Amino acid sequence: MHTLYDVLKKEIVDVMRHMEDRGLNYGRSGNASIRVKGTEYVLITPSGLPKASLTPSDVLVVTMDGDVVEGVHRPTVEMPLHTTIYRRYDYVNSVIHAHGIYTTALAVAREPIPPIVEEMVIYVGGDVRVTEYAPFGSGELAERAAEALMGRKAALLANHGVVACGYDIQEALEVLTLVERVAQVYLLSRLAGRTTTLPEESVELQRKLFIERLKRNSPSTEIP
């Protein structure tokens, strides 16, 4: 019988392969984690390995303080990004960081994604903000990302990529996929000559739906 950790490790491996297949990430870049509910443990991808060829045994178990409990590899250098987000938001149980083409293009341009389609507000929370630049793997980057995620489930990391989160890893992947697609639509609409955001009253209505969905997963959470 598989233990819970075995199941969660396989989920991480499957998601990383899916991301490579769909062009959401590539090569040795990107990372993903799952917080084990009710514990201080996090399952997280290793550093320096091709993510599409990971096996469950490559996934590490670490504490929220970054100590390795299980695994033979070094954890991703972005571990502070993951643990900082978990400490800040108790409704987040999975974090994915990726280097998709369109989200990274906007991160390099340091341009946020405005609310241009309804599902973006319902599932992400509204516009996708861009952090100020900070070096990869740094505590400064982790803090800036966590700040940009306030009231949202995704953020762009300046000159770097995107971070998405969710109640579980499937939701985090859904958010990541949606944001990459909306980034593509946004760039194409600008090439077409015009980008029109949703009406403010529509954003407010969809924002309420987003908050309702969050509260179903974490009833005691205060949502900014």
Query: pLDDT tens for residues 66-91?
Result: 999 999 999 999 999 999 999 999 99
d(CA 210, CA 167): 13
Mean pLDDT value of segment 142-146: 98
213 pLDDT band (50/70/90 cuts)? Answer: confident
Catalytic sites, residue numbers: 78
Is residue 224 included in any domain, yes or no? no
Which H or E element spans position 146? helix 139-148
Which are the contacts of 217, defined by CB distance < 8 A and separation ≥ 6?
91, 167
Provide the pLDDT for residue 1: 34
pLDDT at 2 over 70: no
d(CA 105, CA 57): 33
pLDDT at 224 over 60: no
Average pLDDT, the chain: 95
Mean pLDDT value of segment 14-38: 96
Whether residue 45 contacts residue 51, with contact meaning beta carbons closer than 8 Å, is answered with yes
Beta bridge partners of residue 177, listed in sequence order: none
Is residue 46 included in any domain, yes or no? yes
pLDDT at 125 over 50: yes
Report percent pLDDT > 70 for the chain: 96
Say which CATH number the domain at 165 has: 3.40.225.10
Boundaries of domain holding 18:
4-217
Report percent pLDDT > 90 for the chain: 92
What is the number of other CB atoms lying within 10 angstroms of the CB of residue 206?
Answer: 21
Give the predicted TM-score (pTM) of the model.
Answer: 0.95
Question: What phi and psi values does residue 34 have, to the nearest 5 degrees?
Answer: -135, 130
Predicted confidence (pLDDT) per residue in 155-193, tens digit: 999 999 999 999 999 999 999 999 999 999 999 999 999
Is residue 223 included in any domain, yes or no? no
Q: Which two three-digit tokens encode residue 114? A: 């405005």
d(CA 75, CA 115): 35
d(CA 90, CA 207): 19
d(CA 189, CA 185): 6
Task: Quote the number of domains for the chain.
Answer: 1
Is residue 222 included in any domain, yes or no? no
Residue keyed to tokens 């999975």: 94
